Amino acid sequence: MAFFLETLLGGLMAGMLYSLVALGFVLIYKASGVFNFAQGAMVLFAALAMARFSEWAGVWLGGDQLFLANLIGFVGAGGVMFIVAWLIERLALRHLVNQEGTTLLMATLGIAYFLEGLGQTLFGGSIYKIDIGMPKDPVFWLESVFQGGILINKEDLYAALIAAVLVAALSLFFQKTITGRALRAVADDHQAAQSIGIPLNHIWVIVWCVAGVVALVAGMIWGSKLGVQFSLTTVALRALPVVILGGLTSVPGAIIGGLIIGVGEKLSEVYLGPYVGGGIEIWFAYVLALGFLLIRPQGLFGEKIIDRV
Amino acid sequence: MFYRENGQFKTSYRADQQILPISQDRLAMAIILVIAFAVVPMLASDYFFRAILIPFVIMALAALGVNILVGYCGQISLGSGAFMAVGAYGAYNFFVRIPGLPLIPALILGGLCATVFGILFGLPSLRVKGLYLAVATLAAQFFADWMFLRIKWFTLDAPSGSVSVASLQVFGLPIDSAVSKYLFCLSVLAVLALLAKNLVRSAIGREWMAIRDMDVAAAVIGIRPMYAKLTAFAVSSFIVGVAGALWAFVYLSSWEPAAFSVETSFRLLFMVIIGGLGSILGAFFGAAFIVVLPIFLNQFLPLVLGLVGIEISTAGISHAELMIFGALIVWFLIVEPHGLAKLWATAKQKLRLWPFPH
């Protein structure tokens, strides 16, 4: 029982991180109708920028001012993400207004490749580490109930907390601010939004910036867990089923989808894996999402898809 | 001038319906075939065959298959690498388990395995489309990656899923030299390309295109979406599967599941985008482009950067390659969404009147 709970909690923590990446997908799709395949590359790019900037800042400040160095790194990487967002809008998306969803998807694939190459050219292609001073020691819960208690990583706990705060802030931003409402209007209908005076170009820059910041936070947390390296882009591939499960247009969907996928992955790996040779985590998530799609094509919280000729 | 059509009268429906109705096109095609089958084997060096021609021919075949699904039927697929893998391992299993099975039936059976797999993972396309489907096809990719790595039955208990084939022959002729490999792949490509060309201009091809352009409208005028989509998945994955089997048997001859990773799927999609969505010719252009570009960059980038005094490392080249690929895809989607094939069509149009502009 304790082992089951431990697995479950581990799944929930991992799921929280998936939903953080998934959130990037949802934000861009919700606000501009683009399915952003480059989210993984953005996570890598942002994490690389932050790792390198904080490293350089650390050297420049001369040693033990970890917080300040990280702050400089974070702000610097945020600035870089802003430039990236602006350039993406300027060079690619502006020319693809009113194209079909699949064309935009393929364009983001191109952007993903470009960012992967650029990130490694600018910041180097080895493994870097981000140390934001998260405590790494495990804690034990419920020691009185189970023998030995339930082992939880403190790091995971903090990561989940950061993710939760970010999600809450973004939900508020989307629901309560004028900009948020404009973003949702653009997602609904580009042309209609333009015709009532919403500047499409600004909206796209804003939303890619927000996605960039989300990517930065995701990259920071993943990076401090696993180290910043090329394989970080695969995190996005693991977050895709989350988006599908939760629905492309729903922020709560990304969270709950993430939790379901995280738990499903861990439980399947631990309890089903041994029978079929292990390593089933990655496709199990996809098959879970796929099976769900067959029942509910718009995902858990997605808006109903209505086809018109 | 080059495409002067006056004087070429069609007196029967049959003549009007030819694949190449203009005599210049027929002549050009004949010349290309002669060059490909006769002249190239005499001139090209061994390196040229192994590095460029054989990969090009096989990738063109795979891109052809992907183009049927993505370009003609509009079902975006990120799982083509999986179909290639299924074709390769399917053909391998038949080849090894049935003693004395000739190569060609093994390839066809491999293709049929890929067909079954393709239909299976094409089923979600009946419920979801566009972006959701793209993700759904990724499921096929990851499932195949896992299947050939972990289920030992498929690889005859080989550790890490790496297998190999040896002593291939067709009709008693051994396929071991670079030239024979090239000619064999080229023959398969020629036959399948002809079949594909005929398929896409037949009734079923028009159904695919109707589904691609607007599936709801197509359904309203009486096209069965299920039939059209699943046939597209079946035909496409058959061709991709055969290409995968060729890639494994003829080009690699010993391989492991990593040879057909998600990266392969993306590359195939790029070939189709850059070559031209919904064009048989485009598959050839796209494959040529994607196969040659890395080799070209490897030779060319150090040279150019050397002139300005910058040394570039191997890692630097691979990063530059990623950037150039990415930029090209975005550029093509913006400037020429129909790819290189469209450029060729425009050139052809100009050549009709050349040297006069009007």
Domain residue extents for chain A: 2-295
pLDDT of residue A145: 65
For residue B254, list its beta bridge partners: B164
pLDDT value at position B178? Answer: 87
CB-nearest partner of B124 from A121, A278, A290: A290
B34-77 pLDDT, tens per residue?
999 988 888 888 888 888 899 999 999 999 999 999 989 988 88
pLDDT of residue A207: 85
Q: Are residues A113 and B329, on separate chains, in Cβ contact within 8 Å?
A: yes
Least confident of A79-83, A132-136, B156-160: A132-136
**Structural tokens at position A74:** 């974070």
- Rounded Cα distance, A238 and A14, in Å: 11
Give me the residues of B, 189-248, that contact A with CB < 8 A.
Answer: 214-217, 220
Whether residue B323 and residue A114 make contact (CB cut-off 8 A), yes or no, is: yes
Contact B273 A125 (CB under 8 A): no
What pLDDT band is residue A146 in, cutting at 50, 70 and 90? low
Which residues, in sequence order, are CB contacts of A38 under 8 Å at separation 6+?
A: A108, A109, A111, A112, A115
**Would you state the pLDDT for residue B270?**
87
- Give backbone dihedrals phi and psi of A152, rounded to 5 degrees, phi first: -135, 140
Q: Answer for the pair B130, B265: CB distance below 8 angstroms, yes or no.
A: no
Q: What angle do CA A7, A8, A13 make, to 5 degrees?
A: 95
Chain B residues inside the 8 Å CB shell of A91 = 330
Residue B111 has a pLDDT of 95
Nearest to A35 by CA among A87, A111, A86: A111
| CATH architecture of the region B46-353 | Orthogonal Bundle (1.10)
Q: What is the DSSP letter of B38?
A: I
B214 to chain A: which residues are within 8 Å by CB? Answer: 309
Amino acid (1-letter code) at residue A166: L
Q: Is the pTM of this model over 0.90?
A: no
Determine, for residues B128 and A297 on separate chains, whether the beta-carbon distance falls below 8 Å: yes
pLDDT confidence of residue B352 = 82
* pLDDT > 90 in chain B, percent: 35
Q: Using alpha carbons, select from B79, B86, B67 the residue that is nearest to residue B134.
A: B79
Residue A105 Cα distances to A62, A206, A231, B148, B216, angstroms: 44, 19, 21, 29, 21
Q: Best interface-test mutation with B: which of A94, A111, A286, A292 has the largest number of B CBs within 10 A?
A: A286
Strand partners, A140: A151
Query: Is pLDDT larger for residue A99 or for residue B198?
Result: B198
Residues B283, B60 contacting (CB under 8 angstroms): yes
State phi, psi for A138 to the nearest 5 degrees: -75, 155
Within A33-153, residue ranges assigned H as helices are 39-61, 66-91, 101-123
Cα of B196 vs its chain's centroid, Å: 11
Q: Provide the pLDDT confidence category of residue A194 given band limits of 50, 70 and 90.
A: confident
Cis peptide leading into residue B355 (ω within 30°): yes
**Per-residue model confidence (pLDDT) at position B61:** 95
Evaluate the CA torsion angle A112, A114, A117, A122 in order and state its sign: negative
Is residue B87 within 8 A of residue B268, CB to CB? The reply is: no
Q: What is the mean pLDDT of residues A113-120?
A: 90
Listed in sequence order, the residues at least 6 apart from A150 whose beta carbon sits closer than 8 Å to its beta carbon are A2, A5, A6, A9, A140, A141, A142
Classify residue B156 by burial, with Cβ atoms within 10 Å: 0-12, 13-18, 19+: exposed
Residue A31 has pLDDT above 80, yes or no: no
Average the pLDDT over B122-127 and give the result.
83
**Tokens 């993700």, residue located:** B135
CA pair distance A201, A97, nearest whole angstrom: 10
Nearest to A13 by CA among A256, A262, A182, A239: A262
Helical segments of chain B, H only: 13-16, 23-34, 40-43, 46-48, 54-67, 80-97, 103-122, 131-150, 178-200, 203-213, 215-220, 225-246, 262-275, 280-307, 314-335, 339-353
- CA pair distance A124, A83, nearest whole angstrom: 19
- Over residues B288-302, the pLDDT tens digits come to 988 888 888 888 888
Residue B65 in tokens: 């298959």
State the average pLDDT over residues A33-62. Answer: 84
Per-residue confidence at A97, pLDDT binned at 50, 70, 90?
Answer: confident
Of the pLDDT bands very low, low, confident and very high (cuts 50, 70, 90), residue B14 is: confident
Q: What is the pLDDT of residues A262-296, one digit of tens each?
A: 888 888 888 887 777 677 777 888 888 888 888 88
Between CA A15 and CA A266 the distance in angstroms is 10
